Structure 1
Amino acid sequence: MNQAGRPPSNAATTLPVGRPGRASLFWIAIPFTVLGLAMAWLIGTDPLSSFRNGAPPVEKLTFERTILGSDGVRLLVRAGGSQPMTIAQVQVDDAYWQFTQTPPGPIARGATAWVQLPFPWVVGEAHGVKILTNTGATFKREIPVAVATPTVDSMSFVSQAALGVFVGILPVAIGLMFYPVLRGVGRNGMDFLLALTVGLLAFLVIDAVAEALELAGEAAALFQGSVMVILTTMGSFLLLMAVGRSRGTPTGLALSTFIALGIGLHNLGEGLAIGASFASGAADLGIFLVLGLTLHNITEGIGIAAPILKVRPPLWTFAGLTLLAGGPAVAGLWIGSLAYAPQWSALALAVGAGAILQVIAEVGSLLVRRSGETHVSFFTPAAMTGLATGAGLMYVTAMLVKI
């Protein structure tokens, strides 16, 4: 206290901290009450009725799945208009057909329904389906080449698992088999391998985002495909960065685990797309294409091995990293063949892209720490060569699998 009985000017003033009292709860409740009253008034009085001029509501219908079987054609459709919509008629090749809708009645915004048509489709022929609503709006679905949709049974599950192992687990395992040889590299060799990892992961990010945006374009407009992909990618990146840095900067086995996780999430999205192709009867994977997928993924195993070259992890660690990176391809094939929609594949690829971005940030950070000087490691001949080699290898091997 000074002579005037006042506290010193530099004394810290603290406010009591406790649970919100009744007054605080009252002020929190006021805005919610006003919002509720405003919504009730809007619904009850319908002030927008004076603006209606008799025009029909905006209607959107997205075809999410087409199944061709012995009993005809089944279509999974999703409504996205401003009001519930009613399917009035269905045409196939410009002829009207009786149809069965499950569930029946108007389709609410965002809801789905199955449309069954007893149409005798012809193998190898092209067919066009047109759905007409009770307002006169039409929505078309083209079937370029009609083939029977594969049925789900135990043998198809086994075949899909075998393919998933071959294009997901096997190449990662082969890439990790280079571990003993890579252990002998020097400083420049390590910089090369870490930069190679960044290069191949950068390719995967670009490829995943591009494919996710393409799939999102096929989804219903209400999902806001491109926005969903970007927000999911950034959210996944920020969340994994927070988790990864919660116990310090990941190095060694922890960094290899994050690399395997990012690649695994990417392979999950790829598996969903391949499984959906099987389910629609559109997949015709030849031996050359399967070998191309395998070669394309071998470099992923090398990238996983790079951060653990200076340690000697037990053998089971390599098995775990292999399953983490390649196993989701099997799960994706199974899920995609059973229940597929483009928005879910786009979402999985976006999550994978965010995870890979997190890995790129961590591997880049490791390169900087190794140099001892900010950003110097990125501009050494070894690192620049590694970046170009990693991206180049992924690009060249991707040419084998693009159709």
Structure 2
Amino acid sequence: MPLVVLGLAIAWLYSANPLSSFNNGAPPVENLTVERTILDQSGFRLLVRAGGSEPMKIAQVQVDAAYWEFTQTPAGPIARGDTAWISLPFPWMLGEAHKVTFVTNTGAAFDHEIPVAVPTPAVTSANLVAQALLGAFVGILPVAIGLMFYPALRGAGQSTMNFLLAMTIGLLGFLLVDTIEDALEFAGESAAIFQGPAMVVLAAAASFLLLMGVSRRGGRPSGLALATYIAIGIGLHNLGEGLAIGAAFAAGAAGLGTFLVMGFTLHNITEGIGIAAPILKVRPPLWTFAGLALLAGGPAVIGMWIGSLAYAPQWSALALAIGAGAILQVVIEVSLYLKRSDGRGSSMMLSPPVLAGLAVGVGFMYATAMLVKI
């Protein structure tokens, strides 16, 4: 019965059109977002997404305040939520800034800035291999280096263990804040139809609840299981970062110099130490360390490939939001594991080794993040 009433109400709304009495002649609400920009010898190619209340039609396109002929694929009005490629045979100049303005048939104008015109790199096997090598260098290698501290840390006493676990919480706490900040930034660049901030919150909450439910199926995780969850959380974070770096490659604006690459590497070394902390009391086989390094750092390579091939800001926001939820789950589990392993309960969280570990974890991540922020 409720569904029947709802169907009748919708049918009456479309047939009677009671909203027509509110029509004062104003044009429909329109919104246009540029999701991808490609520069090559033929000019500009821009992927746009419509977000208005009704299908919108691009009537004219300006480049630097001059009107230019353009080709739209597919042609015709762009429905709400749909995308179209706009091709402009504009003779752009290397290194110059350009401003593209889309004018709809209602007179609404939407601007898109190209700060520095550079050719978009073509997708080739050589480029994909180069991206994989860079992703391995900034993602897998530093995690593996951090895991190499495992033999030296095996003889650690309880105070050192508390310090290392607290340091893990500190570095994950910093990653959580940094991930949420980046996710909201990408969400602000996405089309309004995706409801960026709400998408970030909901995706993070869903990721947290799902991983929390999975981790508690066999009791509270510890040892290798806890290390695996730490690697998953870090891996999802690195996936989001890889998407952003891959998008920079696709835009021809990577700007990844040697100093910046080294900054990424130093920034991620502590992640390997954090993964090793829960397994210091066990002796897993060697392949386990290789698996943990790939789980935590490998997504950076995948993210670079996806970002360079099919980048859009909403996908980076979604990936980072999922990573934020995973990191929050790991922070809670490591905190509970720290309390259980020490045996002194909540009072232990205020002990000098724990406070020092939290400070070192946050401080190191903050200091090394200064090397990669541009």
Q: Would the TM-score normalized by the shorter structure come out above 0.5?
A: yes
- Equivalent of 1:159, from 130, 144, 149? 130
SS of 2:60's equivalent in the other structure is strand
| 1:19-64 CA-partner distances (Å, limit 9, x unpaired) | xxxxxxxxxxx11111111111111111100100110000000011
Output the amino acid matched with 2:159. Answer: N
Output the amino acid matched with 2:78. Answer: I
Aligned length: 374
- Aligned equivalents of 1:320 and 1:211: distance in 2? 27
> Unmatched 5+ residue regions in structure 2?
none
- The alpha-carbon deviation at position 144 of structure 1 amounts to 1.1
SS of 1:310's equivalent in the other structure is coil
| 1:50 alignment counterpart | 21
- Aligned equivalents of 2:369 and 2:146: distance in 1? 16
Is it true that 1:149 corresponds to 2:120 in the alignment?
A: yes
- The alpha-carbon deviation at position 234 of structure 1 amounts to 1.4
1:252-271 → structure 2 map (5 Å cutoff): 252-271=223-242
| 1:388 alignment counterpart | 359
- Aligned equivalents of 1:298 and 1:305: distance in 2? 11
- Equivalent of 1:107, from 78, 82, 107? 78
SS of 2:116's equivalent in the other structure is coil
| 1:231 alignment counterpart | 202
| 1:358 alignment counterpart | 329
- Aligned equivalents of 2:199 and 2:262: distance in 1? 33
Output the amino acid matched with 1:114. Answer: W
SS of 1:375's equivalent in the other structure is helix
- The alpha-carbon deviation at position 372 of structure 1 amounts to 2.6
- The alpha-carbon deviation at position 233 of structure 1 amounts to 1.0
- Aligned equivalents of 2:331 and 2:157: distance in 1? 22
SS of 1:63's equivalent in the other structure is strand
| 1:188-223 CA-partner distances (Å, limit 9, x unpaired) | 000000000000000000000000001100001111
Output the amino acid matched with 2:42. Answer: D
Using the aligned pairs only, state the percent identity. Answer: 71
Output the amino acid matched with 2:349. Answer: F
Output the amino acid matched with 2:341. Answer: R
1:335-350 → structure 2 map (5 Å cutoff): 335-350=306-321
- Aligned equivalents of 1:65 and 1:210: distance in 2? 22
The answer on whether the counterparts of 1:370 and 1:377 sit within 8 Å (CA) in structure 2 is no
Output the amino acid matched with 1:397. Answer: T
| 1:11 alignment counterpart | none
What is the aligned-residue RMSD (CA, Å)? 0.7
- Aligned equivalents of 1:224 and 1:169: distance in 2? 33
Output the amino acid matched with 1:376. Answer: S
The answer on whether the counterparts of 2:249 and 2:308 sit within 8 Å (CA) in structure 1 is yes
- Aligned equivalents of 1:371 and 1:333: distance in 2? 40
- Aligned equivalents of 1:236 and 1:397: distance in 2? 27
| 2:282 alignment counterpart | 311
- Equivalent of 2:264, from 281, 293, 315? 293
1:183-262 → structure 2 map (5 Å cutoff): 183-262=154-233
Point out the structure with max Rg over C-alpha: 1
Is it true that 1:32 corresponds to 2:3 in the alignment?
A: yes
- Aligned equivalents of 2:214 and 2:11: distance in 1? 43
> Unmatched 5+ residue regions in structure 1?
1-29
TM norm structure 1: 0.92
